[in-house]
Structure 1
Amino acid sequence: MSIKRLDSASRASAYQKAWFASLQETVALGAPLALVNADAPQEILRAMDIPYVVNQWWASVVSAKRLADRSLDALRGRGFPDYSRQYDAVSFGASHLRPEEAPWGGLPIPDFVIAENSSDSARKVFDLWAESGKTTFFPFERSSGVRAPGQWWELVPRKWEEAFGADRLDLMTDENWQLVEFLEQGTGRTFDLARLSEVMDLVNEQAEWNRRTRDLLAATRPAPIGVHDIINSVMIPQWHRGTVWARDAAKSLYEEVQVAVDRGEAVCPGEKTRLMWIGRGLWFDMDLYSRFEEEYGAVFVWSMYLAIAADGYPRYGDDPMRALAARFAGFTDQLYMPGWADEWYVKEALTHGVDGVVHLVADDVPGAHFTTEALEEAGIPVLEIRASNADPRSTNAAALSGAIEEFLTTRIRA
C-alpha cells in the first residue's frame, strides 16, 4: 500500500495558508512584523507576541511557486548580484514583485529583520532590507567552537554548557537580552521571562515528539513515509515553535506514522534502495523525491529537517534565556561544521540503514567535503551535487535526475 499524502502535511499546509492571511490582516491593522532567519532566536518574538515570518520559509514558498528566478531577476535589475546567497536573498527579491504576482499576495515589508552575521554577503542581504527606510536590522554575531564534542546530540539537551562553552553562551545570552531591549523599544511591548520559559517548554515537548517520529522511521523497513510529506509535516510546525498548535502537530505526525507502521504501509512497497538527502530541500522540484520512488524503487528516507528537529532543538535548564542561547549558538556547527556535522550524518545514515547519500552542496555551506569524506569512510557512497536549493537556474532538472540515476546504477546497485 502506498501513502501519497499525510493528513498531517495537508493540515499543516492549510493552517499555514490561513495563518499567513491572518498575519497580513494583523499587520495591515498596524501590528509590527519581523522577518527572522532560521539561525536567530524566534522564541523571543513568540514570548512577546510579535508576529514574524521565517526568511527560509518564505524563500521556500517563493521557490515552490516557481517565482525564485523572477525574484532574483528583480535583484539583478536593481544592480545586486543574483548568484550568491540565493536562499537568503530570494525573499528580498520577492519583495519587489507586485502583490498580484507574489505568493499569497506577498509578504508585507517587515519592521525588523533579525539574522546571524554568517558572512559578509549574507550581512549585505539583510542590510538591504534596512535601506528601505521602514525596516531595522538586528544582527547576531556568529561564534565558533574551538573543539567539537563527540556525540554532541547526547550532550546538547542538558549539558549544553559543556558542548558549547561558557564564552559562546555568554555572548549569545547577552545578545538575546539586547534583542529584547531592541524589540521593547521598537514595539512598546514588554518581555516576560516566565512567558519565555513556557515557550521553551512547548518547544522541548515538540522536539520530543519529533525525536519519537525520527526514531520510528529509522527503525522501520520498508519506509512508511517519504521525505516529501515529512518535510511539510515537520517544518511548518517548526516555524510555529512555542505554540500549543505546533506541539500538537508534532504529536499528530508521530501518531499518524505509528498507525502507518502498525498497518505495514509503505511509501514504496517494492523498496529496493534507501537514500539519504543531505542539504536543504530542493524547493523548486520537490517531486524529485517521489519520481525516484516510482521509477527506481529508491526511497529518500531521510532529510535533515526531521533529524535536526529531533536532535538539535531540545534544551533544558533553569535559565530559559541561556538555554535559548544554547539552542542557537552552535546551530550552524551541528549542520555543517567539521567534527560536528560529519559525525552526526554518519550516525543518522547508519541508524536509517541507507544505501547511499545525495549531498546537495550550496555555495554557502562550509565543511561539505568533510561530511562526504566521513560517509565514504563509513562505507556509504555519496553523490555530491553543486546547486542552490532555492534557485532553479543553478541546476538542470534532467541533468540532476540523470546524475542520481547514474549514481544508483553504477555505485549502489553495481
Structure 2
Amino acid sequence: MTQPRTPAQPRTPAQPRTSAQRPTAQAPAGPRLRSAVAATRHQKEWFQTVRQRAAAGEPIALVNADAPHEVFRALDIPYVVTQWWSSIIAAKQAGPASMERLAAGGLPDFSLQYDAMPLGEQDLPDEDRPWDGLPAPRFAVAERSGDVTAKIFEQWGNRPGTETFLLSRTGADPVPDRWWELVPHQWEQAFGTERLDLLQGEIQDLIAWLEERTGRTLDYGRLAEIMALGNQQAEWNRRTRDLIATTRPTPVLVNDTMPAVMSPQWQRGTQWAVDAARSLYEETAERVDQGIAVCPGERKRLMWVGRGLWSDLGLYTRFQEEFGAVFVWSMYLAIAADGYLRYGDDPVRALAARFVGITDQLYVPPWSSQWYVKEALTHGVDGVVHLVADDTPGSGFITEALKAEGIPVLEIRANNADQRSSSAARIPERIAEFIRHRV
C-alpha cells in the first residue's frame, strides 16, 4: 500500500494546555468560527448550483451518508446527502411539516425521521421548502442498513423519474481491537477480505449502473485523486480533533465545529474541502495561541454522543454561564478524524474499505464502545449526554462502557431531526438536572 501524503506537520501540544499554563480570554461576542461561517455559506451556494444543473436537465443523486460518494464525484454527478438535507430541513424549522406530509401519504412519521424527512419535504408547498427545495433526484442510493432504510429508498424509486440502488450491509467477525489504528493502512485486516470483496463488487456494479444511465465513463485515475484528497482532508481533521482534545479550556464550540466539519465532509474529494479542513485547524490553533476560550470559567467538560440536534444548535452553549459546562466533543469531527483515512493503490477497494465499516465504527460494539471510551478519555470529559435514536444499535453497550470508566452518562431517547420528538424529551431540562446532580 502507498504511504500517506501528509502536509507539513503543524505544532501539536504534547500535553493538555490548561488555564494554569496559558492566559485565557473570552472569545469575541458571537464567537463564530470564520471557517464555520464560510463552510455554511459555501454549502448554500453549492446547493443552488445543484438546483441549476438539475433545472438544465442533468441527473442528480440523493445518497445516504454510508454510500460511496466518491463514485458520483468521479462521474461528475451532483449528489445531496440525505442526512445533510434533513439537517437543513430541521434547522429551517420545516421538519414537522415534512413529517406531516409523510403521514398524509400513509407513510410512518415516527421512524427513522433523519432518513425519511426529505421524502416529506418533496411535497411541501414551494414557499415552505428550505433553500427552494431539493430537486427531484434521478438516482437514490443507500446502504441497506436495515429494513426501514431500504423501504425509505424504495419509496424514492416509486417516484416518477427516480431509480433506487441499494448496497449490502455486512457485519464484522472477528472484531479488531483499536480499529482506529488499523483502518488507515491495514484495512484488509480490520474488515476482512470477504466483506471487502462483496462491497467492492457492488461498487463496480453501481459504477456500471450509473455509466449505463448517464453515458459517462468512470476515470479511475480521477477516482484515485479524489480518494487522495479525502485522505488529506481527514489528516487535517485529525490534527484539529487532537488539538481540541489537549486544550483546556476549550477554544471552540461544538456547534461551530459541526458545520465546519460536515459541510466539507459532503464535498469530500475536492480541493475546497481540503482547504476548509486546513482552515479549521489553523483557526483553532490561532485561538489556542491567543489564549481564547469559549468559556474561561470552564469547570465541566461534556461529550455529546449521537447525531447533532440540528433544530437547536444553541443547546450546546446553554449550560456555560450557570454551570461552566462546555460541550467539547461531537462525533462529527471525531469520525472525520478517525473514520475516513484509507490509503491504497486500488481506489475502488480503498473506497470499499472507507465505507464497509462506518456503521460499525459509530454504532456497533465493541467497535463503537471502545472508540467512544477512547475519545472520552483523551478529551477529559466529566459527563456524557447520549442521544439514542430508534435506529442506533448497541447504544446500551456504549453507555455501559463509558460508565465502567467512571463517566456519568445521561441517555435521552429522541430523534435529532424531529422537533416533536426532541421537544417531548425535555432535553435542556434533563441536561441541566444531569449537570446539577450527577456531573
Does residue 2 (structure 1) correspond to residue 18 (structure 2)? The answer is no
CA–CA distance in structure 1, aligned partners of residues 235 and 111 of structure 2: 36
Q: CA deviation at 1:397?
A: 6.8
What's 1:160 paired with? 187
Q: Secondary structure at the match of 1:395?
A: helix
1:207 is matched by which residue type in structure 2?
Answer: A
1:5-404 to structure 2, matched below 5 A, reads 5-396=32-423, 399-404=426-431
**Aligned AA (1:284):** S
Query: Any idea what the Cα deviations from partners look like across 1:20-61, whole Å, max 9, x if unmatched?
Result: 111111110011100010000000001111101011000000
Amino acid at match of 1:392: Q
Q: Which runs of 5+ in 1 are unaligned?
A: none
Give, in whole Å, the separation in 2 of the partners of 1:297 and 1:69. Answer: 33
Letter in 1 for 2:119: F
Q: Distance in 2 between matches of 1:148 and 1:345?
A: 16
**Equivalents in 2 of 1:219, 1:235: separation in Å?**
22
Once the two structures are TM-superposed, the CA of residue 108 in structure 1 deviates from its matched residue by: 0.3
Aligned counterparts of 1:61 and 1:301: Cα–Cα separation in 2: 23
Distance 2:321 2:49 in 1: 38
Q: Structure 2 CA distance, aligned partners of 1:62 and 1:143?
A: 30
**Deviations 1:131-171, CA, capped at 9 Å, x for gaps:** 11210000001001112211000000000000000000000
Partners of 1:297 and 1:363 lie apart in 2 by 31
CA shift for structure 1 position 233: 0.4
Task: Compute the displacement of 1:389 (Å).
Answer: 0.4
Give TM-score scaled by structure 2 length. 0.93
> 2:201, 2:301 → 1: CA distance?
44
Structure 2 CA distance for aligned equivalents of residues 147 and 342 of structure 1: 16
Q: State the secondary structure of the residue aligned to 2:140.
A: strand
Does the 8 Å contact 2:414/2:425 carry over to 1? no
What is the distance in 1 between the residues matched to 2:308 and 2:435? 20
Deviation at 1:396? 2.3
**Per-residue CA shift, 1:113-134, capped at 9, x if unaligned?**
0101111111111111111121
Read off the aligned partner of 2:236 and give its amino acid letter: W
Residue identity opposite 1:174 in structure 2: G
Helix, strand or coil: the match of 1:300?
Answer: strand
- How far 1:294 sits from its partner (Å)? 3.2
Distance in 2 (alpha carbons) for counterparts of 1:97 and 1:386: 28
Structure 1 equivalent of residue 434 of structure 2:
407
Secondary structure (helix, strand or coil) at the match of 1:237 reads helix
Instruction: In structure 2, give the amino acid aligned to 1:38.
Output: A
Unaligned runs of 5+ residues in structure 2 are 1-25
| TM-score, normalised via structure 1 length | 0.98
Give CA-to-partner distance per residue, 1:53-72, whole Å, 9 cap, x none: 01100000000001111000
CA contact (8 A) 2:60 2:79 kept: yes
Q: Percent identity?
A: 59
Does structure 1 conserve the Cα–Cα contact (< 8 Å) formed by 2:413 and 2:425? no
State how far apart, in whole Å, the 2-side matches of 1:29 and 1:384 are.
Answer: 47
8 Å contact from structure 2 (residues 234, 337) kept in 1: yes
> Which one-letter code corresponds to 2:254 in the other structure?
V
Query: How far has the Cα of 1:395 moved from its partner?
Result: 2.8
Mapped partners of 1:292, 1:136: distance in 2: 46
Q: Give me the whole-angstrom Cα distance separating, in 2, the residues matched to 1:393 and 1:147.
A: 40
Q: Which piece of structure 1 moves more, 13-22 or 163-172?
A: 13-22
Q: Which residue identity does 2:172 align to in structure 1?
A: G
Contact persistence 2:416–2:422 (CA under 8 A): no
Q: Which moved more, 1:290-299 or 1:310-319?
A: 290-299
- The 3 A distance-change label for structure 1 pair 408 and 32 is same
Residues of 2 paired with 1:206 and 1:382: CA distance? 32
Tell me the equivalent position of 2:11.
Answer: none
Per-residue Cα deviation, 1:290-348 (whole angstroms, up to 9, x for no partner): 11123321100000000000000000011110000001101100000011000000000
Q: What is the number of equivalent residue pairs in this alignment?
A: 412
Deviation at 1:398, TM superposition (A): 8.1
- String of CA shifts for 1:361-410, please: whole Å, max 9, x gaps: 00000000000000000111100000000111113278211111111111
d(CA) in 2 for partners of 1:317, 1:395: 42
